[in-house]
Amino acid sequence: MNYWLVKSEPFKYSWDHFVTEGEAVWDGIRNYQARNNLMSMKTDDLVLFYHSNEGKEIVGLAKVSKEFYPDPTTEEKGWVVVNLVPVAKFPKTVTLAEIKADRRLQDMLLIRNSRLSVIPVRLEEFDLIVAFAHEV
């Protein structure tokens, strides 16, 4: 089991929209590193859902419902999508500021490479973020 984080601009595709639809085709990835991460995702891997630009916070948890297949939104070869389904909205969002403030999370690619939109997350980091999301 691996853990991931995906970014979405809420203006384009928000968590609420994701929940309403019930399943998302994660299309439009045009970056090789992000693409490689998509191709490493396995069914039932857990995925943190992050709102970029507006909010800058992790809002909920999703999981992989279908492993990678060719991106239907482009003719170009080599790009792929996965399907995601919502698991749970976090009781409390975890902001980028909180993540940056925690010494244990400094190595996250979310911070180190802010432009990458599909990011692997280590188990320790994942557990910590889930714990933050449930703090009172």
Partner DNA sequence: GCCAACGTTGGC
Q: What is the Cα–Cα distance from 51 to 43, expressed in whole angstroms? A: 23
Instruction: Name the residue nearer to DNA (CB basis): 30 or 134.
Output: 30
CB of 52 to DNA, least distance (A): 4
**Interface with DNA, residue 100, by CB under 7 A:** yes
Q: Which of 2, 14, 31, 40 binds DNA (CB under 7 A)?
A: 31
Q: What is the Cα–Cα distance from 39 to 36, expressed in whole angstroms? A: 5
**Interface with DNA, residue 93, by CB under 7 A:** no
**Interface with DNA, residue 1, by CB under 7 A:** no
CB of 49 to DNA, least distance (A): 13
* Footprint (CB under 7 A) of DNA, residues 40-79: 52-53, 56
Q: Is 86 helix (H, G, I), strand (E, B) or coil?
A: strand
Q: Which of 32, 39, 42, 107 binds DNA (CB under 7 A)?
A: 32
Q: Which of 19, 80, 85, 116 binds DNA (CB under 7 A)?
A: 116
Q: Is 17 left (phi over 0), alpha (psi -120 to 50) or beta?
A: alpha
Judge contact between 80 and 88, C-beta under 8 A. Answer: no
* 3-state helix vs strand vs coil in the chain, percent to 5: 30, 35, 35
Judge contact between 84 and 47, C-beta under 8 A. Answer: yes
Instruction: Name the residue nearer to DNA (CB basis): 104 or 115.
Output: 115
Find, among 60, 66, 132, 67, the residue nearest to 100 by Cα: 132
Contact residues for DNA, defined by CB under 7 A:
7, 9, 30-33, 52-53, 56, 96-97, 100, 112-117
